[in-house]
Amino acid sequence: MNPTALQYLLAAVVALPLLGAVGALLPAPPGLRGRNPDQAVLRHGVTITGVVLAAALALAVGFDHDHPARMQATTDISWIPALDIRIHLGVDGISLPLVVLTALLTFLCALYSYFHMPTGPSPKAFVALLLVLEAGTLATFAVLDLMLFFLAFEMVLIPMYFLIARWGGAGKQAAAWKFILFTLLGSVVMLLGLLLIGLKSGTFDMVALATDNGPKAQLSHTVQVLAVLAVGIGLAVKSPMWPLHSWLPDAHTAAPTVGSVLLAGVLLKMGTYGFVRIALPITPEGMHTFAPYLAALAAIGIIYGSLACLALVRQGAKGDLKRLIAYSSVGHMGFVLLGIASMTPTGVNGALFANIAHGLITGLLFFLVGALKDRYGTTDLDALAGSTGAALYGKAPRFGGLLAFGAVASLGIPGLAGFWGEMLAMFGAFRPAVGLSRPAFLTFMVLAGLGTLLTAAYLLLVVRRVCMGGTPHLAPIAPLGAGDLADPADPDAGPAAETPAPAPAIPDIAHYEYAAWTPLAVLTVLAGLWPAALLGLTDPAVQQLLGGGK
């Protein structure tokens, strides 16, 4: 495709959601109001996110797949000359999959909300916040200037705060405040690190800083160590890395369904993307210093997340299924951080693959759990597993089958998307970059392998309890007597054995739910069966990134 056309497409992908957010707050034209203004604004959200998704897919089709390491669709305009801050946009094989994933998940959330709007204030504000959130996330993956990256990184916090605080469930205010305080404090420290890089090197241009013979040469070892420490704290909070993860379970539990999908599907990826785009190529010496500590915390996070899930899923624990999936994200993102910490092409490619896989699978799981709460009014595992609980295989077999599919995909079974990222991340830890302690990384790899077993244990327990249900508790049956075989319609008949009442039926998957969930399930299978489609994009870009632009 013509480079100018690609340039306009990427600019449209970033700018359209912002324009759509403004449009959502304006009165709908008379001919487009539909049955009521609420329906009109929700349809507006579906239309804008659909156009953005179409533009992102056109960008992916027009992308030069023969040269994925080269920045394409670039725009470079001076914005603040005194500080040499530029509006610099572009995508390569690393950022393009994340742009498409963000556009897809936001469209599916808008479509789901059109048919099932979460309880809360006016849909106008909801749609506007959703579009601002999309714009900030897309910009984070598309900008190539450190200051612009920081602005985009921060832009998503306010809309997510309001989505949790105004449209969330129980404990929403406390969860929203915890989310904003953790992420803002981390971002303040990250800003100091970004300013240190820019002022010491003389530029905030991420492409120039990634080359060995560029401004990066001005960064001493001490400066790089300090920069990675500062930037890494902000990125680690968003990732989320243990022990800076504690805001995540509360935010997920309180958030509305679409908020949980976007938080897990794309917002967590902003932190790990920052490690790959900034820390690895711009401050490699500092990253080399902190890599063992990052890997150790990642391995602890994998084990911790799995043990927390096992504690929640046990009988009598009153565990919340949304909270369980949130803790599972801590473990899954631990694999991403372990792959990045290996500083090898294999590990980083695994991290990028696991990013996409986690977005697809966990996005699907949060959709399903949100729909389960709508049907039962609770996500308490003991209630869902009781004798009158979910037992989805019998009551809603398609729903139960899809939930089991999501759980199996999340545990990393071969043939589905979750397998490749975790395997490659562990391969990266098996043989880390030169200069990193191989015995230490082998230990981290063993811990990660143990984490996969624990993950399988708690996810299979979830399937057992929610999809199959508990054993019905029947009343004692009296000894069989002569009257027990009599016709129950006969008034003279004796007492008959008590039988359990049939389980109440619940709605199976609705048409709009099929539309919102099927793409995620299909892509999970395709990525598992054809991993080369994604690795072929990321590998050349990762090789160049780790090679200092060569």
pLDDT digits (tens, 9 = 90+) for 192-249: 999 999 888 888 888 888 887 667 677 888 989 999 999 999 999 888 888 888 888 8
Is pLDDT of 484 > 70?
A: no
Residue 432 near residue 344, CB atoms below 8 Å: yes
Residue whose pair of structure tokens reads 């004692």 in the numeric block: 476
Tokens of 409: 């995909």
pLDDT tens digits, residue range 25-36?
887 665 555 566
CA angle 418, 520, 332 (to 5 degrees): 30
Tokens of 136: 């900030």
Is pLDDT of 425 > 70?
A: yes
Residue 189 near residue 233, CB atoms below 8 Å: yes
Three-state DSSP at 78 gives: strand
Longest dimension (CA), the chain: 99
pLDDT tens digits, residue range 411-424?
888 889 989 999 99
In whole numbers, what is the pLDDT of the chain averaged over residues?
A: 85
Task: Assess whether the previous peptide bond of 397 is cis (omega < 30° from 0).
Answer: no
pLDDT of residue 277: 92
Tokens of 201: 């090197």
pLDDT of residue 108: 95
Question: How many C-beta atoms lie closer than 10 Å to residue 502's C-beta?
Answer: 7
Average pLDDT of 458-474? 73
Three-state DSSP at 68 gives: coil
Tokens of 377: 């009014």
Comparing 86-90, 266-270, 313-317, the range with the smallest average pLDDT is: 313-317
pLDDT tens digits, residue range 240-253?
888 888 888 888 88
pLDDT tens digits, residue range 73-132?
888 888 888 777 888 899 999 999 999 999 999 999 999 999 888 887 888 899 999 999
In the beta sheet, which residues pair with residue 72?
91
pLDDT of residue 220: 85
Tokens of 442: 């082998």
| Percentages (nearest 5) of helix, strand, coil residues in the chain | 70, 5, 25
- Angstrom CA distances, 140 to 44, 349, 417, stand at 24, 20, 24
Three-state DSSP at 248 gives: helix
Question: How many C-beta atoms lie closer than 10 Å to residue 93's C-beta?
Answer: 25
pLDDT band of residue 434 (cuts 50, 70, 90) is confident
Instruction: Give 433's contacts (C-beta < 8 A, 6+ positions apart).
Output: 288, 291, 342, 343, 344
pLDDT of residue 261: 92
Task: Assess whether the previous peptide bond of 81 is cis (omega < 30° from 0).
Answer: no
In the beta sheet, which residues pair with residue 205?
145
Three-state DSSP at 87 gives: strand
Classify burial at 369, counting beta carbons within 10 Å of its beta carbon; exposed 0-12, middle 13-18, buried 19 or more: buried
Residue 237 near residue 244, CB atoms below 8 Å: yes
pLDDT tens digits, residue range 144-196?
999 999 999 888 989 999 999 898 887 888 888 888 888 888 888 999 999 99
The one-letter code for the residue type at 377 is G
Of 312-326, 422-436, 467-481, give the range with the top mean pLDDT.
422-436
In the beta sheet, which residues pair with residue 380?
320
pLDDT tens digits, residue range 495-529?
444 444 444 567 778 888 889 999 999 999 999 99
Distance, CA of 132 to CA of 547 (rounded, Å): 35
Residue 427 near residue 347, CB atoms below 8 Å: yes
